[in-house]
Amino acid sequence: MTVMEAIQARYSVRKYTDRPIELEKIEKIMKAGRLAPTSSNQQLCKHIIVTDKELIHQMVSACEEQKWIETASAILVECASGDRMMICGQSARSMDCAIAMSYMTLEAVELGLQSCWLSWFSPDKVKVLLNIADDYVVVAVAPIGYPEKDGHRSDKKLTKEVVVYNKMK
Ligand SMILES: Cc1cc2nc3c(=O)[nH]c(=O)nc-3n(C[C@H](O)[C@H](O)[C@H](O)COP(=O)(O)O)c2cc1C
């Protein structure tokens, strides 16, 4: 599968089978996060994968009672310490975590898995639940697993609506 094939095959899944994710696949997904680019190559992210059933169950209350996340065989959690504003005015921590999560969720697609990014979560509750060190901030969460049925991604805007060559106007 090419990168573009993985991008095209990705869609958000909110119901998974109970098939566990094989260890070799988990290792490949974590490697994708580890190899992602980071601002000034500082590599301040931790790539957490939650596979413990009880912890996954407890994550529901940390994720605004989104019950469906319990069907996932694993939950990816991206956190990082030591944020700083980059010269462009954006948070290095948020950007690094988002890039790593993108890499991991696309690698998951290559391996026959799907995921769903979450913004409905309490970073503080996730921190407590997973014993994440005080100086870390949880930036992104994504349940991951084998989809219960085939699906497709949501409609996307047309190229002409979102792509700009050179000046915007
Ligand atoms: C940053 C981000 C946060 C999201 N938060 C949630 C969420 O809390 N709950 C949920 O069910 N879906 C969430 N989604 C999934 C989006 O709803 C989904 O990506 C969007 O509808 C497009 O569908 P697609 O992923 O199938 O292309 C989130 C997606 C992103 C990128």
The length of the chain is 169
The domains of the chain, with CATH numbers, are 3-162 (3.40.109.10)
Distance between Cα 133 and ligand 1 center (Å): 27
Decide: 68 in ligand 1 pocket, CB within 6 A: no
Give the per-residue pLDDT at 44.
95
pTM: 0.96
Q: Which residue, by CA, sits nearest to atom 12 of ligand 1?
A: 118
- Helix (H), strand (E), coil (C) string for 99-111: HHHHHHHHHHHHC
pLDDT for 77-119, tens place per residue? Answer: 999 999 999 999 999 999 999 999 999 999 999 999 999 999 9
For residue range 20-68, what is the model confidence (pLDDT) as tens digits?
A: 999 999 999 999 999 999 999 999 999 999 999 999 999 999 999 999 9
pLDDT higher than threshold 90 for residue 4: yes
Cα of 116 vs centre of ligand 1, distance in Å, is 6
Token code pair at residue 70: 């319990």
Q: Whose CA is nearest to atom 29 of ligand 1?
A: 117
Decide: 123 and 137 in contact? Cβ < 8 Å: yes
Residue 153: pLDDT over 90: no
Binning pLDDT at 50, 70 and 90, where does residue 141 land?
very high
Collapsing DSSP states into helix, strand and coil, what is residue 75? strand
Go through 16-50 and write b for each residue having 16 or more CB atoms within 10 A of its CB, e for each that does not: beeeebeeebbeebbebbeebebbeeeebbbbbbb
